[in-house]
Chain A
């Protein structure tokens, strides 16, 4: 539990991350993701509750925790006047790797993160993606068993984001336990074994990406037909396989049908539309997005300022907020209890 004055930033976060796995904290801005990471990395003391990282109590032995973790925060924490090499060398010295090992490790990491060429240039000449990579390299200097990454791809262009994902996947294959925060379901899905959805300081759902999406039930087929005359026939054809009401947008000749069953449903839908003689301009299966998960779990859009989320057809699967929890208890290397 963490309060700032009257604001309770963190109220009910109860997490266990087994060694060598990836947990993603998924939630909008202000949900409590960063506060959680800061408590686990000893930067903040909780007002109530306890946490252990790699078997060490965060409150009782913060310095022992710091030996075992790497942190890459939301803002690339690199010293822009130092070169990439100097940044990493300094971090190595402060992890007490010794002069020689720090230098070696700095060169290794520059190589791994494709920064060798830029390694002797001041970091202020780096692009956003390069700074991010350097920051992440800083978190890896001491080869920590547990890694915390707070929105590692926020502010990156799509290409840099893909690069970052590749790098993170490599590290995870190497056996690192990773706690990752993100605003993107896609990112959580791509990297995490397990996802905890967090909102207003509480974990409101927990599971794999597929489990969460199934729980949301937001999978749907979207079809655009070629002629106005085909709309009714298409509606009838889709309704036969839909799990809820088919929504029709007449002016754009678009139909949205909630389904469950993935690609097989789409094949079936196309077969039925074809045999009904409906001309199709566009058709596709749409999986739930972060917004859909949020809407379903909290009854409101992920971002308070997002408008029209409610208005888009088929985006409201409705139903009460699901509270299913999946707890992983075995060999916990990182845990946190309210």
Chain B
């Protein structure tokens, strides 16, 4: 118990450091905040003009949960980026030579991603409301929807922590995440319905946890139209989107918390 409390106390010291970064380098946060607003506006009005209302719902309303998901997943990459930078600058060596709880750096990093993500969700929700997105369900369901987004992003943070420690430079990390996160968030029901995808892509999209996350939040916010509620999806993953998403969260954490921690213990810059 003492070890857990110690790790949390040390983790909060590291998290404080990351939050000071956000204050000192506001361009970082502004980038994270502005890009989802830009995405919502671009997709809503550019794609929205060509895409007929999916499941009988206004496209803009249907789209916003997809943008939520994509943005929090990118929010989860900040941890990896920060760790890669710390590796490059030798700060990891300093941390590792201190008598602090070993997982504290990872705990602190991943938790500050949650704080950043809460901020971005607030901004996105406000933008969403402005373009016509609404929460049409109860407060508990809506809270569950936001919690699911944050939880999934938290799991992504741990996976990214591992990658960041592995690649050691922010440049390499950035190109790697760009090449993985973009396809993973696009081959899903994030921006367009998957019904008309070619077969192979449709199977991938059906079982892509981003699809289940997006569908789960759409359902929890009530952004699925009457048609969407009537037509049952074929894949189990999309019939039980909340459960399937939670399975992925558990899976990612079970794999990446240990491997990221092990990688951290062995990490030395250069």
Contacts and interface: CB of A to CB of B under 8 A. Distances in A.
A22 to B, nearest CB: 19
B98 interface: yes
Contact of B98 (A73, A75, A94, A122): A94
A79 interface: yes
Interface residues of B, number: 23
A237 B255 CA distance: 79
Nearest to A74: B90
Contact of B100 (A38, A94, A122): A94
Contact of A94 (B13, B21, B93): B13
Contacts of B104: 94
Interface in A64-98: 64, 66-67, 69-71, 73-82, 86, 90-91, 93-96
B91 interface: yes
B94 A138 contact: yes
A11 to B, nearest CB: 19
A328 interface: no
Interface in B61-95: 89-91, 93-95
A77 B94 contact: yes
Contacts of A138: 94
Nearest to A67: B99
Interface stretch (A39-47, A202-210, A219-227): A39-47
Interface size class of A (residues with CB under 8 A): 20 to 34
A73 B25 contact: no
B268 interface: yes
Given A73-B90, A77-B91, A77-B93, A95 B99 contact: yes
A63 interface: yes
B13 A90 contact: yes
Chain B CB within 10 Å, residue with most, of A44, A64, A94, A135: A94
Contacts of A75: 89-90, 269
Contacts, number: 73
A42 B97 contact: yes
B96 interface: yes
Given A82-B20, A122-B24, A43 B93 contact: yes
Contacts of B90: 73-77
Contacts of B20: 81-82, 86
B113 interface: no
Contact of A95 (B17, B21, B98, B269): B98
Contact of A82 (B10, B17, B93, B269): B17
A96 B17 CA distance: 16
**B interface SS class:** helix
Most buried by A among B20, B96, B97, B104: B97
* Residue with the greatest number of chain A CB neighbours at <10 A, chosen from B94, B268, B269: B94
A81 B94 contact: no
Given A71-B94, A73-B93, A81 B21 contact: yes
Nearest to B92: A77
Contacts of A73: 90, 93-94, 269
A64 B98 CA distance: 10
Contact of A38 (B13, B95, B268): B268
Contacts of A82: 17, 20-21, 24
A63 B99 contact: yes
Nearest to B269: A75
Interface string B222-245: 000000000000000000000000
A43 B96 contact: yes
A5 to B, nearest CB: 15
Contacts of A66: 97-99
Question: Across chains A and B, which 4 residue pairs bring their CB atoms closest together, nearest first?
Answer: A75-B90, A77-B94, A66-B99, A71-B97
Given A64-B99, A77-B90, A94-B13, 18 more contacts: A42-B96, A43-B96, A66-B97, A74-B90, A75-B89, A76-B90, A77-B89, A77-B91, A81-B25, A86-B17, A86-B20, A90-B14, A90-B17, A91-B98, A94-B98, A94-B100, A95-B100, A138-B94
29 contacts: A38-B268, A43-B93, A43-B268, A44-B268, A66-B98, A66-B99, A71-B94, A73-B90, A73-B94, A75-B269, A77-B90, A77-B91, A77-B93, A80-B89, A81-B21, A81-B24, A86-B17, A90-B13, A90-B14, A90-B16, A91-B94, A91-B98, A93-B10, A94-B10, A94-B14, A94-B99, A94-B104, A95-B100, A135-B94
